[in-house]
Structure 1
């Protein structure tokens, strides 16, 4: 086995080779805290309250399955109820969590996990390696309801399994209750990242439900059973999700008895957190007056590098958007810097590819599509769109260039950006209209692959070493040049080669414009001063949730 000391990951200058060589990460370096929380040992322990209230901007869909969830609102609940084999540390290095340790084979095609002993599901049944195999075999099933992830396609035996030539996926083997191995067809640079994003689920809970029915199994979806720090209690649609402490959690007994995710309107969240109805809320408005109001009320404001971005998804299968020049024109037409300056007050960055803004794989020579009405109009003209009747609206072959901007409610900045984008498009002769709905209704537009649309405003989370993810809804990249480039990225383990391959793919994406990249807002949290041990970092908000507590 290859062995090496762990070093910082990605833009902290970790090479992929060193990453692949990381092995036997034990309890002492584990991402979860195996000691009692400081709250439990504090002299102020007697003044603790028994509930933490955490604000969500939008209602979760109730899809609390760790493999099929598709919104950040469901993800928050999933990451609190379920556990992951590995998590990311502050330097974006991989840390064993539900796993006790892991190791790579000499050729980097086999990843071995040793699981912690004594871990129990919330219903008292023991977690075993069989649960791990069941979880990650399911995603290779051709009936997997959200589309087979790239991770599964890299496993040995994938084709035979997905074509029902065998009932056993050769790419996942179990030695005993505590040892499970993943075998890949080639070295796979994004393997560990997948585990940081998709927790393990219980075989005994889900095995009797066909995979094709996983997203319609409402009773199971809305009563999740995990191994995480908090147990599920209740989901009141549109209001809250109630959890209670898992006293047997392997990372230590949670410091707070109850955890409640409250659905709070962004217009009232400041009042809610100031009067104690909510303890923690993500910041939705960087207006200096709003930030000052928080601070004046004694509320702490935490700001960190973003792990996500906002974008306008384009239906590249839509005939009027199938021409690359038209899509490029849309990016030029939107004054994205103005959106960052006016709506985020500079607390964010304009983005030009599906990648974290400070990722070392981001090439410096990408087209930045600087705001230019002239360039946008030139490209549209080249694509045949002209105002032939002088009414101010572009047309082609007798068709007016109409464009409906669909956007979900719940994210204040995104809502405010919609009319700005609408006006930008009108300025170049596109008849743009707005259509708002609740988050899940808007998301359904993207989930229906057969449905045509113009544009959908949406947000996605970046994933280290993974590109083309399903949470960046693009009807593009599944074949041709982009697919070839993605395959090269995923198989490059050596850092120099990986960075070149990733940059090549990002250049292809940047040119093709599968969506209008808008901005990456800095993440921020408003936290009551009574909240203790809340310490989020990029990609990981709930990694130490068992340590959080609130004093009176």
Structure 2
């Protein structure tokens, strides 16, 4: 049986004023999205009848599918504490939120069956699904929702490594509870077992976004201090992880294999598959295993390499999905470093941060931006490049699919090494001793340390290319040995070090364009330790009611913020790579959404199930 589909989404998201959108559970974002198109080769038409016959026979129960990821999860599988996308590959099948999203990025019911807001948009009340069970048989209730958000508001949450405080900061009484001034948590309140209300300190323009976080079980964690949750077996180990999702995390060989087994009591109906097995596979051998059927799908993060597209396109048993990615790769600039005392205590205290003098001049960061050949990395007009043209350089850290993305508001750093050299000369960074590398304005050696992680082959190959680009304009770069993500991310977070430049990629939220989760000063993911008061002012202004209920107003504020970002440069955005997902056509029932292919995995089935 031979079948090949290519899906291309050209998605334009146009949201109505939030005050109108969030009135009831059947409210819709005003959005349009091209549906996936299907094309078949002439030689494949005969097989279509066989496919249709199999579909007519209906879904089959049983079977195992194998997914591949090219880096091992760091090992944290608790939604409120995890950090990397590889951990999310487990979490996405185990845990659920009150709402999810459809193909148009509209919020739709999940653990909540409906919701309503009050007149002034300071409260949103959810009516929960009844009969939902946790994996251990306990009933899911409103108390679990309250507990999840209370834990993320806990005074010890951030110091324990929590990086998602942005979901709780707008809640009523957050500051008082987080600071320890009061023991009463009033931001999320249960009214019986199946009704829960989120209360905000001010009218909120996107309450569904803040209420969309995966829920964890109160009965599992209530007796564990929040500061100890990251070390608890219930956050780390198979058969200890308890969610409401369609699959249970049942076994692992750490750094090699992770097994998800069917949840027979799943509230939407027992999954058809017996198991989903994740294997950690080197990117260099993934495609061969996909062709042989030893792995069944390759998706987030990264998917198949652009260089392998034509090879996979010739496989007779694989479906390819190509669409714009919700994310980007970046070259980060360490503006500041945390103190050792703050690292040891887990504090994010901007007033204590130590400026990184090697990159403190914005002209230097801009010169670096002009010196990096981003188009060359992508491949447009410069040979095949690393992406073979399947992606594009971007200049804004807001997802291109979002209504707030504004390419015209930003500085576009075209490859211009001559301009980079002139800017460095003007800033006083010149080659004093004639060795080909520039010294700083005081005549001291100027070397930028650059770090990057293993796992993503494109990122690994980008690192020495970027080093070479910078050295062409006289910037000496100490490209250090890469490390596994499980080591890299903690070192990047605990940054009382000599890091200057770093490579990382971000998968962006599909729920709202607000970039504060990555770039607000106190955001855990603000690894650049960017501390710009004007940025803080604009980020807060963009979500402050009542003005922010007007989408046009938010667009204007975010345009000003994007301009600021591109000028002050906490990072140089390298490129947005097209998502290239692939799966064996023995798998049926997969729904391709703009941001995931893991939706409704309980409906997946395989034709050869016995």
**TM-score scaled by length of structure 1:** 0.91
- Tell me, in whole angstroms, the C-alpha distance in 2 between the residues paired with 1:440 and 1:179: 39
Aligned pair partner of 1:526 in 562, 566, 582: 582
1:95 Cα deviation after fit: 0.8
Aligned counterpart, 1:446: 492
Aligned counterpart, 2:97: 84
Check whether the contact 2:241–2:249 (CA below 8 A) recurs between aligned residues: yes
- Tell me, in whole angstroms, the C-alpha distance in 2 between the residues paired with 1:18 and 1:305: 29
Report the CA distance shift for 1:195/1:419 in structure 2 as closer, same or farther (over 3 A): farther
Aligned pair partner of 2:317 in 289, 298, 304: 298
DSSP-derived class of the 1:540 partner: coil
Residues 457-476 of structure 1: pairs in structure 2 closer than 5 A: 457-463=503-509, 464-470=512-518, 473-476=526-529
- Tell me, in whole angstroms, the C-alpha distance in 2 between the residues paired with 1:188 and 1:40: 49
Check whether the contact 1:54–1:261 (CA below 8 A) recurs between aligned residues: yes
Once the two structures are overlaid, the 10-residue window that deviates more, 146-155 or 421-430, is 146-155
Aligned counterpart, 2:274: 257
Report the CA distance shift for 1:419/1:448 in structure 2 as closer, same or farther (over 3 A): same
Tell whether 2:221 aligns with 1:183: no
Aligned counterpart, 1:216: 231
Aligned pair partner of 1:346 in 365, 373, 389: 389
- Tell me, in whole angstroms, the C-alpha distance in 1 between the residues paired with 2:221 and 2:583: 37
Aligned pair partner of 2:372 in 327, 334, 338: 334
- Tell me, in whole angstroms, the C-alpha distance in 2 between the residues paired with 1:136 and 1:230: 23
Aligned counterpart, 2:57: 43
- Tell me, in whole angstroms, the C-alpha distance in 1 between the residues paired with 2:22 and 2:59: 42
Check whether the contact 1:193–1:466 (CA below 8 A) recurs between aligned residues: no
Check whether the contact 2:402–2:513 (CA below 8 A) recurs between aligned residues: no
Aligned pair partner of 1:407 in 415, 436, 452: 452
1:333 Cα deviation after fit: 0.9
Once the two structures are overlaid, the 10-residue window that deviates more, 382-391 or 114-123, is 382-391
Check whether the contact 1:348–1:522 (CA below 8 A) recurs between aligned residues: yes
- Tell me, in whole angstroms, the C-alpha distance in 1 between the residues paired with 2:513 and 2:182: 31
Check whether the contact 1:161–1:168 (CA below 8 A) recurs between aligned residues: yes
Which whole-Å deviations, capped at 9, do the CAs of 1:484-524 have from their partners, x for residues lacking one?
11111122222111111222222211111001111111111
DSSP-derived class of the 1:441 partner: helix
DSSP-derived class of the 1:303 partner: strand
- Tell me, in whole angstroms, the C-alpha distance in 1 between the residues paired with 2:54 and 2:92: 22
Aligned pair partner of 2:540 in 466, 473, 487: 487
1:294 Cα deviation after fit: 4.4
Which whole-Å deviations, capped at 9, do the CAs of 1:285-319 have from their partners, x for residues lacking one?
112x6433443343221112211111112111121
Once the two structures are overlaid, the 10-residue window that deviates more, 56-65 or 246-255, is 246-255
Report the CA distance shift for 1:386/1:340 in structure 2 as closer, same or farther (over 3 A): same
Tell whether 2:399 aligns with 1:356: yes
Tell whether 2:68 aligns with 1:55: yes
Report the CA distance shift for 1:148/1:253 in structure 2 as closer, same or farther (over 3 A): closer
- Tell me, in whole angstroms, the C-alpha distance in 2 between the residues paired with 1:202 and 1:353: 37
Check whether the contact 1:313–1:457 (CA below 8 A) recurs between aligned residues: yes
DSSP-derived class of the 2:191 partner: strand
DSSP-derived class of the 1:53 partner: strand
Once the two structures are overlaid, the 10-residue window that deviates more, 83-92 or 13-22, is 13-22
Structure 1: which 5+ runs fail to align?
A: 1-9, 27-37
Check whether the contact 2:328–2:574 (CA below 8 A) recurs between aligned residues: yes
Once the two structures are overlaid, the 10-residue window that deviates more, 417-426 or 476-485, is 476-485
DSSP-derived class of the 1:437 partner: coil
Tell whether 2:185 aligns with 1:169: yes
Structure 2: which 5+ runs fail to align?
A: 1-10, 28-51, 337-355, 380-384, 519-523
DSSP-derived class of the 1:539 partner: coil
Tell whether 2:289 aligns with 1:307: no
**TM-score scaled by length of structure 2:** 0.83
How many residues align? The count is 529
1:19 Cα deviation after fit: 5.7
Check whether the contact 1:349–1:357 (CA below 8 A) recurs between aligned residues: no
- Tell me, in whole angstroms, the C-alpha distance in 1 between the residues paired with 2:53 and 2:114: 28
Report the CA distance shift for 1:42/1:84 in structure 2 as closer, same or farther (over 3 A): farther
Check whether the contact 1:240–1:260 (CA below 8 A) recurs between aligned residues: yes
Aligned counterpart, 1:380: 424
Which whole-Å deviations, capped at 9, do the CAs of 1:123-178 have from their partners, x for residues lacking one?
00001101000101111112112246223221111121012122221111111111
Which whole-Å deviations, capped at 9, do the CAs of 1:18-70 have from their partners, x for residues lacking one?
664341249xxxxxxxxxxx999962545x65111111111011100011111
Which whole-Å deviations, capped at 9, do the CAs of 1:448-495 have from their partners, x for residues lacking one?
143341111101011232203248544345551111111111222221
Check whether the contact 1:314–1:515 (CA below 8 A) recurs between aligned residues: yes
> Alpha carbon RMSD of aligned pairs, Å?
2.2
1:276 Cα deviation after fit: 1.4
- Tell me, in whole angstroms, the C-alpha distance in 1 between the residues paired with 2:493 and 2:18: 36
Check whether the contact 2:81–2:230 (CA below 8 A) recurs between aligned residues: yes
1:386 Cα deviation after fit: 0.9
Tell whether 2:338 aligns with 1:285: no
Report the CA distance shift for 1:39/1:484 in structure 2 as closer, same or farther (over 3 A): farther
Aligned counterpart, 1:21: 22
1:190 Cα deviation after fit: 4.0
Aligned pair partner of 2:470 in 422, 425, 434: 425
- Tell me, in whole angstroms, the C-alpha distance in 1 between the residues paired with 2:140 and 2:171: 23
